[in-house]
Amino acid sequence: MKDKIKIFLDSDLLEKYLLGTTSLQESQQVERYIAMYPKVRETFDELQENLEEFAKMHAIKTPEGLKERIFARIQTENRNRFKFFRYAIAASIAAFMFAGASYFFWDQNQNLQQENTMVTNKIKDLEQNMRDQLEDVRNQFIVLNNPQTKKYTVNGNKNAKELKAVAYINPLKKLSYINVSNLPHLPENQCFQMWAEVNGEMVNLGVIKESFGQDKLLALPYAEDAIGYITIEPQGGNVSPTVENIVANIKY
């Protein structure tokens, strides 16, 4: 029976249930285990509290003024449409007098359609960005709370002794994250940059800023026997790592 409970807890069904991504059958199984086994109930309550704290810490704020800008845009478009239709009716009545006006109104309509397309695309981009951020938060929550996750302490070499980080690797979920808790101060013309060697290819993970924050996790591309690097590069980052400036290695 203990093995059965352990197998259940090692899966991500509790996390998926909390995040509302389980199927009907999975939800019924989770609810049955919560009702039957105190250990599962205790773990569920703990995950629920962790999720609430995690959600508060990583709450995605709506860009300031977005709602007002969208409403203002809608009102402007409504006025433009009304203006367009009014002009179109007038033009149809006086078409034999103002044959050239048809092109003007057609051009106005094209501009309006282009503006509508731009607004729609921006809203879609915003929605996709919010979905991506939510997925990232979900993965972070799973990695930090799953018992299969392994933690690796990362220290800088003699060129960056103050560098401190912790890598979180979950081979079961194939997820990898790193938390850079401390970065040495660099001259203004230099920066720290993260890299990952995956399947023989070097992947640029971007510049690590000193203001990154101790409560922030940076996603790493997962692969068996992958290696991560932190290097010192010119300000703004480099297109390829400077090997002689490697200050930390992360094996995962």
Q: Quick one: pLDDT at residue 193?
A: 92
Residue 223 parent element (H or E):
none
DSSP class of residue 59 equals -
Regarding whether 133 and 204 lie in a shared domain, the answer is no
Regarding whether 104 and 48 lie in a shared domain, the answer is no
Regarding whether 160 and 244 lie in a shared domain, the answer is yes
Query: What string of DSSP letters covers 15-49?
Result: HHHHTT---HHHHHHHHHHHHH-HHHHHHHHHHHH
Regarding whether 241 and 175 lie in a shared domain, the answer is yes
Domain harbouring 209, CATH code: 2.60.40
CB 161 within 8 A of CB 184: yes
CB 208 within 8 A of CB 230: yes
Regarding whether 155 and 238 lie in a shared domain, the answer is yes
Regarding whether 80 and 102 lie in a shared domain, the answer is yes
Total number of domains in the chain? 3
Regarding whether 214 and 244 lie in a shared domain, the answer is yes
Regarding whether 247 and 168 lie in a shared domain, the answer is yes
Regarding whether 41 and 71 lie in a shared domain, the answer is no
Regarding whether 164 and 94 lie in a shared domain, the answer is no
Q: Quick one: pLDDT at residue 128?
A: 82
Give the list of residues 6+ apart from residue 88 with CB closer than 8 angstroms, or none.
Answer: 105
Regarding whether 102 and 78 lie in a shared domain, the answer is yes
Report pTM: 0.51
CA angle at residue 178 from 175 to 184, to 5 degrees?
Answer: 165
Q: Which domain holds residue 136?
A: 66-144
Angle 38-57/101-145 helices, nearest 10 degrees?
140
Regarding whether 182 and 246 lie in a shared domain, the answer is yes
Q: What is the pLDDT along the chain (252 residues), one digit of tens a residue?
A: 667 888 888 888 888 888 788 888 888 888 988 888 888 888 888 888 877 776 666 555 555 565 566 556 656 765 655 455 455 555 555 554 555 555 666 666 677 777 778 877 878 777 787 787 778 788 888 888 888 888 888 888 888 888 888 888 888 888 888 888 888 888 989 999 988 888 888 888 888 876 555 567 888 887 777 788 999 999 989 999 998 999 998 876
Q: Which amino acid is at 138?
A: R
User: Which of 32, 57, 82 is where one domain is finished?
Assistant: 57
Q: Quick one: pLDDT at residue 80?
A: 59
